[in-house]
Chain A
Amino acid sequence: MSLNNDDLKTAYRLMRTIREFEEIVNTEFLEGNVPGFVHLYAGQEASAVGICLTLSDGDKICSTHRGHGHCIAKGCDVTQMMAEIFGKSEGLCSGKGGSMHIADIDKGMLGANAIVGGAPPLTIGAGLSAKLNKTGGVAVAFTGDGGSSQGTTFEAMNMAVVLQLPVIFVFENNGYGEGTGHDFAVGSKDISRRAQGFGLPVSTVDGYDFFAVQDAMQVSLTRARSGGGPSVIETKCMRFYGHFVGDPELYRAANERQSLQEKHDCLQIFRARVIQSELLADEELDEIDTSVIAQVKDAVLAAKNGEAPNIDSLLSDVYVSY
């Protein structure tokens, strides 16, 4: 499927929304306004959006602890997301989930997941539903390089091949599992080749390049939708920030972030590409930037002014409480 200019604008808007969302969450967290842990996705936007852009609400994704980007790319409402991260009743999960558990079932976003490797088995379940109910839908498991070594991930890949499920495993290889390097923790040094051993077709792409991710996704999507079974996409893209906000990042090279932001900013890469190809104009993109910045600021304002959950809701949404 080729993308028209409106699609490209949507892609840019989503990527920019993720970036601005994460920047403002970072600021708010550092100011002490956000409870708990947050894991920022900034830097990896082209991966989430490249994967999710052409999915519909009927397609499902399962995410990770670093899930804000996947949520936004899958169409979750930014204001409700922000409210959730601030623990407010207006949040997508009524303030009961928080950053690590945002979900929007109606949008096909089956949850961020605070257990590394928690999502792939659930994803094959969504794939099984799509297959048996003949919805034509697919299910995407986002996992990091860290989660790529979990047994649950291996089991899910094998099962997906055995049952020929419409599932796409996306390994976002950002080089670090918390504070330990991929080169140490992935014994074979190569996530894609390891997946190949399960009988999965794989592609490895530059995760800073939206177009490369989207191209790989179209191949996987066509395969899955036409009954061709599961496949793997490894997107290589490092995160700008630490494992969590507050991470001293002593494991990183000096100037690593600066270099990433200068040379590997997926938004700049996207912008250069569409301008150069005369697909979109600077002004159009600037306009998007301005409106997105206003949108996330409004979301923060709304979240701060939101209602704390009613204490009675502590005991709701569970069948019995003692």
Chain B
Amino acid sequence: MAVLSIREAINSAIAQEMQRDPSVVIIGEDVAGGEGCPGEEDAVGGVFGVTKGLYGQFGKDRVIDTPITESAIMGMAAGAALTGLRPIAELMFIDFVGVCFDQLLNQAAKFRYMFGGKARTPLVVRTTIGAGFRTAAQHSQCLYALFAHVPGLKVVVPSNAYDAKGLLIQAIRDDDPVIFCEHKVLYDETDEVPQESYCIPFGEANIVREGSDVTIVAISRMVIFAQQAAENLAAQGISCEVIDPRTISPLDLDTIIESVESTGRLVVVDEANPRCGMAADIAAQIAEHAFAFLKAPIKQITAPHTPVPFAPELEDAYIPSAKTIESVITDLMAWKP
């Protein structure tokens, strides 16, 4: 075991898979950087430095810098996946899906079903999500629910370095397109990570903390805030179970239902906007499948229905906080019909 950041864990997962399987290639803007420039090679290594060093190990045929043309990147990766490569395409910020969605929504996601099961599309789209970087409306969103809505795409939202490595290796070996959402504020979070490669299966939630009074389902960075809130609430005698779904499509609903059956209360924490998102989806599923066990209304804690603002004070107010989670749960415990 070594202590690695999420950034390092992801780099290690990619390097090990590229070593193991020559069909794995990286495609994206500045994944190495420096092409056509007077300075150094591998000058960038990904805008957050995640792919740094891979160019030196695997060369320019497998670490492919591209123009800033997301449709061509996503489409090329999808077409390459359909014809024998296992591309890891980087969508620098998930917000940029606006300029390339067709290639994922109507192309990559559809091949297997639309072609009668005869096509495989082993494509990974690595992308960054999340507010907290003061990058405002077009570089900060959590748009993963858009992808979870689409049959044929798998959607991964790791919250720690151990999961990031195991889930990414699983994603690379998977024969369906996977959208792998990395929270940009979490890149430096560290964890014990095995040096050898390992897979974490999709659709298996992680019970991060066991508890008996309330179930908190939290996504990506919100897992950290949920754990902080649970810690503080424990001091007040409230026992929280914290569940990290790790993948939102497929979603491990069974684990959530089982937890709610024992706690009788559900809070879903999601940094995304509230309407038609994962919080609403999980709330609806539990209302449908575990209604009889609920002792109180389901609570959704999300960002407001606004774009992500720029000013630090506004952005901090936008992001759900541990404090909000605590206060919602305190109220929930006191709820009477």
A interface, CB within 8 angstroms of B: 60, 62, 91-97, 101, 103-106, 110-111, 113-115, 118, 120-130, 132-133, 139, 151-152, 155-156, 158-159, 162-163, 316-321
B interface, CB within 8 angstroms of A: 23, 25, 61-62, 64, 66-67, 69, 71-85, 87, 102-103, 106-107, 110-119, 151-152, 154, 176, 203, 249-250
Please count the residue pairs between chain A and chain B whose beta carbons lie under 8 angstroms apart in the complex. 153
A158 touches B72 (CB 8 A): yes
Having A115-B102, A121-B71, A316-B117, one finds 6 other A-B pairs with CB under 8 Å, namely: A96-B115, A118-B107, A122-B76, A125-B77, A125-B82, A127-B79
A118 touches B102 (CB 8 A): yes
Instruction: Give bound CA distance, A91 to B118, whole Å.
Output: 12
A121 touches B75 (CB 8 A): yes
Are A120 and B83 also in contact (CB < 8 A) when A94-B117, A101-B115 are? no
A129 touches B72 (CB 8 A): no
Instruction: Give bound CA distance, A158 to B203, whole Å.
Output: 39
Residues of A within 8 A of B106 (CB): 114-115, 118
B82 touches A105 (CB 8 A): yes
A152 touches B103 (CB 8 A): yes
Residues of B within 8 A of A105 (CB): 82, 115, 118-119
A130 touches B116 (CB 8 A): no
Are A156 and B72 also in contact (CB < 8 A) when A105-B119, A126-B83 are? yes
A124 touches B114 (CB 8 A): no
Instruction: Give bound CA distance, A163 to B72, whole Å.
Output: 12
Measured CB to CB, the closest approach of chain A to B313, in angstroms, equals 38
Measured CB to CB, the closest approach of chain A to B232, in angstroms, equals 35
B82 touches A159 (CB 8 A): no
Closest A-B pairs by Cβ, 6 of them: A121-B75, A125-B79, A94-B116, A122-B79, A155-B72, A93-B116
A91 touches B116 (CB 8 A): yes
A151 touches B85 (CB 8 A): no
B176 touches A121 (CB 8 A): no
Residues of B within 8 A of A62 (CB): 79
Are A125 and B118 also in contact (CB < 8 A) when A162-B67, A318-B151 are? no
Instruction: Give bound CA distance, A139 to B85, whole Å.
Output: 15
A151 touches B71 (CB 8 A): yes
